[in-house]
Chains A and B, each alone.
Chain A
Amino acid sequence: MEIEKGKTAKYLREKAGGVPEQAKENLKEFTRIKKLLLEALADEDLTIKQLADKLNMPSDEVVYHLMSLVKYGLVVTGEIDDMDEYFTYKLKK
């Protein structure tokens, strides 16, 4: 089979007979949580605790996903509160 440069993912997909279920599930879950977090921050800047309350999501999961979104350049860190304990986070404009 002639394999076109830049289109080799298709080749492996066909060869492997599809995509592993686990990979598909992971992608679905990340896309869902990313959407929730970005929508929540679209209205206002929030701390991790506030995000956890608003989305009814465990705060450790918010930390993990939100910090990933900071790394991926979608969210930025805002100010820290008066007690120097919690930062707010906002969408990258």
Chain B
Amino acid sequence: MEESLKSICYDALVIGAGIAGGEAALNLANTGYKVLLVDKELSVGGKMIMLSKVFPTLDCAACITTPKVSEISRHPNITIFTGSEVSNIRKLSDNEFAAKVTKKPRYVHVEDCTACQLCEKACPTSVRDQYQFGLIGRKAAFIPFSICSPKAAAIDIDNCTLCGACERACPTHCIDFTMETETIELHVKTIIVATGFNLFDPNNMPRYGYGKFKNVITAMQMEREIAPTRPYHTILRPGDGKVPDRIAYVLCVGSRDASVGNPICSQICCMYSIKQAQLLMGALPMADVTIYYINIRSFGKGFEEFYQQAKGMGVNFVKGKIGRISEKENGNLILRYEDINKGKLQEAEHDMVILSTGVLPNKGIDGLFENETLYLDEFSFVGQSDKLASPAKTSIGGVFVAGAATGPMDIPDSILSAGAASSEAISYIIQHA
């Protein structure tokens, strides 16, 4: 593909536009600095924009994220590149970094798209929707999700048959298959890495049956099922469309488990599972919800009270290690577990199982840097060179880290961490002016 070469300058580059990167960009922009915010996805917002409600306040995630995202999008000091990646970062001097930004074609001119969805309607193709974690389909011409930003269509070129129906339907003629990959040379004074985390893939633990037993889903999929922008008209089992009434959560899936290469605690899974259990009891008042746990780690402000609130609502907590899950002919699931308090092997039947999968590092971020080494910690999260006194500093002067890129973290901590990273970045720019 042909590439066009441009060169651009900003004060700061923020890599990753989740809640941490977005907050860091806003802090820099509000102080008068020009920021380039880059995300590989088609929308800003990271994982938070996908959530239902948030622990421990049960505020609606979209209601918190949407105003923030629109402030970021409209800020005159912030330029956003979605569908883009940064590479070949070189430190040229104490106040200059150069990098390459690769912008993939969206095949839609965002500024002219009115999000009318006529292209979606016209497109004959349907494939699994990655933003609904595969629970439902979407077209090859699609608006990523209803609260995405930029709110504009995109073309999934890998699944497009180039039939042209979307183009013919588009009233503003903003679909353009002549768009090509752009490569841009970037110069900045400081960099914030806010590339977040990955989730453990439960296919790596076949004994839980994920992928094989269709009523075993992940917590992120359940997060979508209970969100206002959910895939189904109500909460349903993906195996047969039944409204579930005996739901089980399995905690620590791929966390605190050296046998799958992740010995550490993911810190958020206990609390997001307790949150979902409360939301499910509200949505399905007749349902029984059981949480199988090893330890409940409710260490944050208001977390223990949130846990007790769930108990008070009738959520059943069982201290038990799940050995294996098997499936009955009717799609129900048999959980075989060690009841830790009784020291006995037990079995229980549920009609839907949610795996609370752990937080993993977003690997490969160190590979973005060319002439300096970004050190990672022993678990491959971005290393903090002074963990206690300056937690946002990395091994490279002028490069700071924010949010879950440093390790498992909830939203309030990600925002605090973004505050620290942006303050450090501002002070770095001033000191090296």
Asked if A64 meets B135 with Cβ closer than 8 Å, knowing A27-B161, A48-B241, the reply is yes
Q: Across the two chains, which residue of chain B brings its CB closest to A60? A: B214
- A10 touching B137, Cβ below 8 Å: no
- A60 touching B238, Cβ below 8 Å: yes
**Nearest 10 CB-CB pairs, A to B?**
A68-B137, A48-B241, A9-B164, A8-B177, A12-B177, A60-B214, A59-B240, A13-B162, A30-B126, A9-B162
Interchain nearest-CB distance for B143 vs A (Å): 12
Q: Which of A1-54 contact B (CB under 8 A)?
A: 3, 5-13, 16, 19-20, 22-24, 26-27, 30-31, 34, 47-49, 52
Q: Across the two chains, which residue of chain B brings its CB closest to A51? A: B241
- A7 touching B167, Cβ below 8 Å: yes
Interchain nearest-CB distance for B225 vs A (Å): 11
Q: Across the two chains, which residue of chain A brings its CB closest to B137? A: A68
- B233 touching A70, Cβ below 8 Å: yes
8 contacts between A and B (CB under 8 A): A8-B177, A22-B158, A23-B158, A24-B161, A63-B238, A67-B136, A86-B243, A87-B233
Chain A residues closer than 8 Å to B178, beta-carbon distance: 3, 8, 11-12
- A47 touching B241, Cβ below 8 Å: yes
Contact of B163 among A5, A9, A59, A68 (CB under 8 A): A9
Interface 0/1 of B189-208, CB less than 8 Å to A: 00000000000000000000
In the complex, A93 has a CB within 8 A of chain B: no
Chain B residues closer than 8 Å to A7, beta-carbon distance: 164, 167
Main secondary structure of the interface of A (DSSP, over half): helix
Q: Which of B396-425 contact A (CB under 8 A)?
A: none
Contact of B239 among A3, A5, A34, A60 (CB under 8 A): A60
In the complex, A82 has a CB within 8 A of chain B: no
- A85 touching B242, Cβ below 8 Å: yes
In the complex, A91 has a CB within 8 A of chain B: no
Expressed in whole angstroms, the Cα–Cα distance for A44 and B158 within the complex equals 37
- A64 touching B137, Cβ below 8 Å: yes
Q: Across the two chains, which residue of chain B brings its CB closest to A16? A: B162
Expressed in whole angstroms, the Cα–Cα distance for A27 and B176 within the complex equals 21
Interchain nearest-CB distance for A22 vs B (Å): 7
- A80 touching B243, Cβ below 8 Å: yes
Number of interface residues of A (CB under 8 A): 44
Expressed in whole angstroms, the Cα–Cα distance for A23 and B137 within the complex equals 14
Identify the interface centre among A5, A71, A73: most chain B CB within 10 Å of its CB: A71
Interchain nearest-CB distance for A32 vs B (Å): 12
In the complex, B125 has a CB within 8 A of chain A: yes
Chain B residues closer than 8 Å to A5, beta-carbon distance: 173
On chain B, which size bracket covers the interface? 35 or more
- A84 touching B286, Cβ below 8 Å: yes
Contact of A67 among B121, B127, B232, B242 (CB under 8 A): B232
Chain B residues closer than 8 Å to A6, beta-carbon distance: 167-168, 170, 173
A residues near B (Cβ < 8 Å) are 3, 5-13, 16, 19-20, 22-24, 26-27, 30-31, 34, 47-49, 52, 59-60, 62-68, 70-73, 77, 80, 84-87
Contact of B176 among A8, A16, A20 (CB under 8 A): A8
Chain A residues closer than 8 Å to B158, beta-carbon distance: 20, 22-23
Q: Which of B222-250 contact A (CB under 8 A)?
A: 231-233, 236-243, 245
Q: Which of B323-348 contact A (CB under 8 A)?
A: 331
Chain A residues closer than 8 Å to B232, beta-carbon distance: 67, 70
Identify the interface centre among B137, B139, B159, B170: most chain A CB within 10 Å of its CB: B137
- B177 touching A9, Cβ below 8 Å: yes
Interface 0/1 of B154-176, CB less than 8 Å to A: 00001111111011101001011
Chain A residues closer than 8 Å to B173, beta-carbon distance: 5-6
Asked if A12 meets B162 with Cβ closer than 8 Å, knowing A60-B214, A85-B243, the reply is yes
In the complex, B76 has a CB within 8 A of chain A: no
Contact of B241 among A19, A34, A63 (CB under 8 A): A63
Chain B residues closer than 8 Å to A48, beta-carbon distance: 240-241
Asked if A62 meets B241 with Cβ closer than 8 Å, knowing A26-B125, A67-B136, the reply is yes
Interchain nearest-CB distance for B216 vs A (Å): 11
Chain A residues closer than 8 Å to B166, beta-carbon distance: 9
Chain B residues closer than 8 Å to A49, beta-carbon distance: 240-241
- A23 touching B135, Cβ below 8 Å: no
